[in-house]
Chains A and B, each alone.
Chain A
Amino acid sequence: MGLHIAPDRSAEAPIIEFREVGKSYGVFKVLDQLSFSVKPGEHLALIGPSGSGKTTILRILMTLETVTSGNVFINGVSLNREQKNGRDIPASEAHLRKMRADIGMVFQHFNLFPHKTALQNVALAPVLTGRMSKAEAKDRAIQLLDKVGLANKADEYPSRLSGGQKQRVAIARALALQPKIMLLDEITSALDPELVEEVLNVITDLRNETDMTMLLVTHEMGFAKDFADRVLFFEQGKIVEDGPPSELFHSPHHERTKSFLRKVIAAGQRV
């Protein structure tokens, strides 16, 4: 087949590549022969109606879902397949753990560990994955909590934090493993409107201060426009339009993109 051979490594070698990826639940197709690639350091916004497959892309990258067909490559290495003794087999747990090392994710519902304090939430994984000693991990966690403006909440349990504070702890937790790729899955959808801004400010800082590749799934069109260098508009598991935000938001080529944006504006959002 030759599909799983690493692509050429040139200066423009993609950090993420989807090749004809399909994903279905029974007869329901979530992703349909999807191909696209992302360059290192790119800031991507994935937009589109609910159920268009945006979140599934992030979940496949985080290895929370497997693909039904096709291949996903991270730095030219297949995420879902591996070569063992010359044979091409589904990725083992060991292979997946190696691949996950470069990827971090922030969830819509935070998914904080309720039995751990904010500090423990951030410091747990670096210690368990053997990257840092306990003392180092603690220092690093304090720095990260400070960075998201929560140094004073280090010893609080998640149940005592507001939604915005929880999400900022979750961002610090994802950063603790120093990922090269950061996946942000509707990170403000579960927040009260007045708490959205504090989270988006943290993301804006990250965008400007790090060279992480970032993929943002969002319904906040205004933020997508400010955040992204490139926007992908999805519908029914396919990319309808792919371009810089100035173009996609102000002079979209496709009728579907136009009608989606009209609905969003009608719902009161700034674009």
Chain B
Amino acid sequence: MQNLDATIGYGRFILSGALATVELTIFSCALALLMAFLAGLALLSRSYSIRAVARIYVEFFRGTSIFVQLFAAYFVLPLVGISLTPVQAGVLAIGLNGGAYGSEVVRAGIQAVGRDQTEASIALNLTRWQAMWWVILPQAVVVMLPSFGNLAIEIMKATAVASLVTVSELTFQAQMVRSQTGETAIPFLLILVTYLVIASVLTALVRLLERRFSRGTAGA
């Protein structure tokens, strides 16, 4: 029976950790999505300087790991006068990192839409932005969604690293249980399953979006 009590005790820890992980994942995904479209469109800009700025952002964040970026955000940014809470540092590092990978998804998705669609838009006298918004992006998003689904899972996995700057998400809570009770197998198995559940929900959500967005194309 004592085992059961202990398990319920872990349960409470793990549940609060799961909520924090979900929260961190949602905010990081939102920031990553925003940055992915900003940088992805910038990578295709006609202006050399805009392309260069976007390229530097992408290469910088892809060139180092989320782990290093998180420690830089948490420990180095305060030295230049930017103090962030652990959660803010986590969202900033994970979101900017995800955005860098996502920008390549956006760029490739837009380029996957045929040149014929751009030509039809010109023949119908649409502006560049009208063509992008009404013709190119709706088709590109369908191409991007599977990659965005993978990216969302990578972002969720990256949130575990935030435990190392004291964000009390799943991994942090498992470590707490371990240090307080000496139990190892149960807390870590529990959070592995929880991560899998969150990943499955993310995958299902993306599938749903894929179905919604694919009307008209691919026989739908």
Contacts and interface: CB of A to CB of B under 8 A. Distances in A.
Interface string B147-172: 00000000000000000000000000
Given A97-B127, A159-B219, A113 B135 contact: yes
10 contacts: A93-B127, A104-B123, A111-B123, A112-B120, A114-B216, A115-B216, A128-B126, A128-B130, A157-B216, A174-B123
Interface in A80-111: 93, 97, 100-101, 103-105, 107, 109, 111
Interface string A230-264: 00000000000000000000000000000000000
Contacts of B216: 114-117, 157-159
B5 interface: no
Interface in B82-127: 116-117, 119-120, 122-127
Interface residues of A, number: 29
A119 to B, nearest CB: 12
Closest 3 CB pairs of A and B: A125-B124, A111-B120, A157-B216
Contacts of B135: 113
Given A114-B139, A114-B217, A159-B219, A125 B126 contact: yes
Contacts of B120: 107, 111-113
Given A115-B138, A115-B216, A159-B219, A125 B119 contact: no
A129 interface: yes
A105 B122 CA distance: 10
Interface residues of B, number: 23
B60 interface: no
A62 B217 contact: no
A107 B115 CA distance: 12
Interface in B54-86: none
A154 B139 CA distance: 20
A43 interface: no
A69 interface: no
A66 B192 CA distance: 59
Interface in A152-171: 157-159
Contacts of A109: 116
Contact of B116 (A111, A116, A157): A111
Nearest to A96: B122
Given A114-B217, A159-B216, A64 B130 contact: no
A173 interface: yes
B4 to A, nearest CB: 54
Interface in A107-158: 107, 109, 111-117, 124-125, 128-129, 157-158
B207 interface: no
B211 interface: no
